Amino acid sequence: MRRVGFLLKVRPDRIEEYKQIHAAVWPEMLNALSAAGWHNYSLFLCDDGLLFGYFETPESLEAAQAAMAVTEVNERWQTMMSPFFEFPEGGKADELLLPLEEVFHLD
């Protein structure tokens, strides 16, 4: 299993709404993530909007992203969520996340 960590930046004025949406993620989105190989997926949010995400996948980050990219639910989710993030207009979080290099793991 490959461990993937990444960063994104939530707009500070949208943090509370972002948290509310993630308290009730669509069941079809949860199913699509699992089917696409996104396991043990977690998001952690700082007060300033810095978002750290983590998940495990049997292949690579790129393969996990590609598996989600072909789903209809992912397109709807990304369109709805794009205004919450600080990145160029028209960008999608799943395409613009900043992957982090794993430097230590305690087994």
Q: Are 4 and 97 in contact (CB under 8 A)?
A: no
The DSSP output letter for 13 is G
Annotated active-site residue 39? The verdict is no
Q: DSSP 3-state helix, strand, coil percentages of the chain (rounded to 5)?
A: 45, 25, 30
Catalytic one of 1, 7, 17, 22: 22
**How many other C-beta atoms are found inside a 10 Å radius of the C-beta of residue 55?**
20
CA–chain centroid gap for 71, Å, is 15
Active site residues: 22
